């Protein structure tokens, strides 16, 4: 078998892998980025294509421009199940051309010395003495052994390499199907231009999209082009999202005589992050590390952030000549403090929302139990402040549904508890097990007391 040797091998060139390669460019390391797909198709995964500007600003990466940009976003409207209540949450973002934007990171990485190998499939991790030391790949010429000081799994929800790790490694934690959203979307050209094309629309309805939502995202730079899709919670016997989309959404007059441009779907991991992004000789980023926002399912920005945290940790470990879990560990503190803690809090909120009826959701939105401005705080910081809940409880005490309000109060408490726990993420892997045991305890207690009560 042919043999090659690198400092870093990144498997998967979606937004996570390609941005990791971008962050590792120009540093003098020998880096290989590979994907089963050809360069023309990298990043071509079914998506709503929306990304908040704050992700791009925070990471200092180039914003989408020219052919990488399909639309500008100024805010999101969220509709209640009866579609009679609308929340408008303002915030800047982009609709991207996901393939062109991913290619930009690869091109810049290659200019900075990274090697890109297309149409190459990673088959098997090579593990020696409790550490990853490489990966077996197959390309057009046959199988090859690729030795590497660090292997980065960026293979998306398939987690091709992380799932081959020994069970006792934290990166191997499996995805419960109930913590996924099965999403399907179509890109269509409508007959009529869209009103307010810089506003994305989200519709919450358990009847239409059980445990998820359906969306209508215009591409503001191309008249009449929209991305319409629907996600349902996985693992609980929900109907296929394509059936729901056709039955309840595409049957509406808005879509009459529209032209189908593109279609496809995929599972989205919508849970708190993997308990560790790294172990001996391996790092995991993007969907493979469960970095997607549990509430809205957006995963591109957080995939790039996980790539940044891992790239910084890998660079420092390589310069010290030691890629053990201990030396790579700072990837976790970087990610958990900046984003993971919030995601864990949102995971609690997500589970709560998935157990509400349409009637509860309609009621909550009509009474503005959580207001538009508070929604922004929940989404950006993962805080559902007790003061907000207390205010709502006092206001609504006489209006009925005390159990809903009490549950909301408990949810807010557990969001706070789990967020604080993640903010105390251990600085050394030796404390990892006890930290993880406490995380599981908080989640178990929340489910037993709030969800099953
Ligand atoms: C319908 C839908 C709508 C969505 N809408 C949005 C949205 O509007 N905004 C947003 O931010 N997020 C959205 N998401 C989520 C977002 O698409 C993902 O979070 C993001 O693309 C994950 O990027 P990734 O690089 O981690 O994984 P992926 O994009 O899945 O990339 C993984 C790569 O690994 C490669 N690969 C897999 N196995 C191997 C192997 N064995 N060897 C070599 N290569 C391999 C694949 O070919 C692929 O290129 C949506 C998801 C879906 C399904």
Nearest-atom number in ligand 1 for the CA of 231 is 1
Distance of alpha carbon 306 from alpha carbon 284, whole angstroms: 8
Query: Smallest Cα–Cα separation from 185: which of 207, 215, 212?
Result: 215
Residue nearest ligand 1's atom 4 by CA: 47
DSSP secondary structure letter of residue 101? H
Q: What beta strand segments (E) does 107-179 contain?
A: 115-117, 121-128, 131-139, 142-153
pLDDT at 8: 98
As a whole number of angstroms, the distance between CA 227 and CA 197 comes to 12
- Determine the residue of 9, 19, 33, 45 to mutate for testing ligand 1's pocket, defined as the one with the most ligand atoms within 8 A of the Cβ atom: 45
Task: Tell me the three state secondary structure of residue 351.
Answer: helix
Set out the domains of the chain in order of their start, with CATH numbers. Answer: 2-49+100-175+273-328 (3.50.50.60), 71-95+177-269 (3.30.9.10), 343-451 (no CATH)
Digits of tens for pLDDT over the chain (453 positions)?
789 999 999 999 999 999 999 999 999 999 999 999 999 999 999 999 999 999 999 999 999 999 999 999 999 999 999 999 999 989 999 999 999 999 999 999 999 999 999 999 999 999 999 999 999 999 988 999 999 999 999 999 999 999 999 999 999 999 999 999 999 999 999 999 999 999 999 999 999 999 999 999 999 998 899 999 999 999 999 999 999 999 999 999 999 999 999 999 999 999 999 999 999 999 999 999 999 999 999 999 999 999 999 999 999 999 999 999 999 999 999 999 999 999 999 999 999 999 999 998 898 888 877 777 776 666 656 655 545 555 555 554 545 666 777 888 899 899 999 999 999 999 999 999 999 999 999 999 999 988 875
- Asked if residue 138 has its Cβ within 6 Å of ligand 1, the reply is no
Q: Which residue has the tokens 């790790």?
A: 165
C-alpha closest to that of 423 among 347, 351, 331, 338: 338
Output the CA–CA distances (angstroms, integers) from residue 19 to 168, 332, 439, in the order listed.
29, 17, 29
- CA 453 to CA 449: how far, in whole Å? 6
Percent composition of the chain: helix, strand, coil (DSSP 3-state, to 5): 40, 25, 30
Task: Report d(CA 212, CA 324) in Å as an integer.
Answer: 39
Neighbours of 152 (CB within 10 A): 31
User: What separation in Å is there between the alpha carbon of 43 and the centre of ligand 1?
Assistant: 7
Residues belonging to the chain: 453
Provide the angle, in degrees to the nearest 10, between the axes of the packed helices 432-446 and 341-354. 20
Residue 25 Cβ inside 6 Å of ligand 1? The answer reads no
Tokens standing for residue 221:
């730079």
> Ligand 1 centroid to 316 CA: how many Å?
27
Ligand 1 pocket check for 158: Cβ under 6 Å: yes
H-run or E-run covering 40: none
According to DSSP, the residues that pair with 148 across neighbouring strands are 6
209 lines ligand 1 (CB under 6 A): no
Residue in this structure with the two tokens 């498997």, named with its chain if needed? 11
Residue 404 CA, distance from chain mean position: 28
Distance CA 9, CA 7 (A): 7
Position of tokens 């910084």? 312
**How far does the centroid of ligand 1 lie from the alpha carbon of residue 273, in Å?**
16
Please state the pTM of the whole predicted model: 0.95
Residue among 223, 213, 214, 220 at smallest CA distance from 259: 223
Q: Is the CB of 267 under 6 A from ligand 1?
A: no
Query: How many Å lie between the centroid of ligand 1 and the Cα of residue 266?
Result: 9
pLDDT of residue 394: 53
């Amino acid at each position: 078998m042919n043999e090659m040797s690198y400092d870093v091998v990144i498997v998967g060139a979606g937004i996570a892998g390609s941005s990791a390669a971008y962050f590792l460019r120009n540093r003098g390391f020998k880096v290989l980025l590979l994907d089963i797909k050809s360069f023309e198709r990298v990043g071509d995964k079914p998506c709503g294509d929306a990304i908040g500007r704050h992700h791009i600003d925070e990471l200092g990466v180039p914003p989408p421009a020219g052919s990488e940009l399909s639309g500008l976003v100024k805010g999101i409207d969220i509709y209640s199940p009866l579609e009679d209540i609308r929340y408008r949450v303002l915030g800047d973002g982009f609709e991207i051309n996901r393939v062109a934007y991913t290619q930009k990171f690869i091109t810049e990485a290659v200019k900075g010395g990274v090697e890109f190998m297309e149409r190459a499939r990673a088959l098997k991790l090579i593990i020696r003495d409790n550490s990853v030391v490489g990966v077996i790949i197959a390309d057009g010429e046959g199988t090859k052994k690729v030795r590497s000081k660090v292997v980065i799994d960026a293979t998306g929800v398939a987690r091709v390499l992380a799932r081959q790790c020994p069970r006792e490694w934290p990166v191997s934690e499996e995805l419960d199907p109930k913590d996924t959203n099965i999403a399907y979307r179509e890109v269509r050209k409508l007959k009529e231009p869209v009103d307010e094309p810089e506003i994305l629309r989200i519709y919450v309805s358990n009847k239409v999209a059980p445990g998820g939502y359906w969306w209508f995202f215009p591409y503001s730079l191309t008249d009449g082009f929209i991305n319409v899709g629907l996600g349902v919670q996985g693992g609980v016997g929900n109907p296929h999202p394509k059936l729901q989309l056709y039955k309840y959404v595409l049957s509406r007059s808005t879509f009459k005589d529209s032209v189908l441009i593109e279609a496809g779907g995929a599972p989205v991991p919508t849970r708190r992050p993997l308990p560790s992004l790294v172990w001996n000789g391996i790092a995991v980023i993007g969907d493979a590390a469960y970095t997607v926002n549990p509430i809205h399912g957006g995963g591109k920005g957080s995939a790039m952030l996980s790539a940044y945290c891992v790239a910084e940790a890998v660079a420092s470990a390589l310069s010290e000549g030691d890629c053990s879990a201990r030396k790579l560990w700072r990837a976790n503190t970087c990610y958990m403090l900046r984003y993971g803690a919030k995601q864990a809090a949102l995971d609690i909120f997500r589970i709560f929302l998935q157990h509400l009826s349409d009637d509860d959701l309609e009621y909550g939105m009509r009474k503005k139990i959580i207001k538009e401005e508070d929604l922004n705080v929940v989404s950006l910081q993962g805080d559902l402040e007790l003061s907000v809940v207390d205010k709502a409880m006092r206001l609504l005490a006489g209006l009925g549904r005390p159990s809903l309000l009490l549950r909301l109060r408990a949810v807010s408490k557990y969001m706070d508890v789990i967020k604080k726990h993640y903010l105390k993420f251990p600085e050394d892997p030796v404390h990892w097990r006890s930290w993880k045991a406490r995380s599981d305890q908080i989640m178990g207690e929340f489910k037993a007391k709030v969800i099953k009560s």
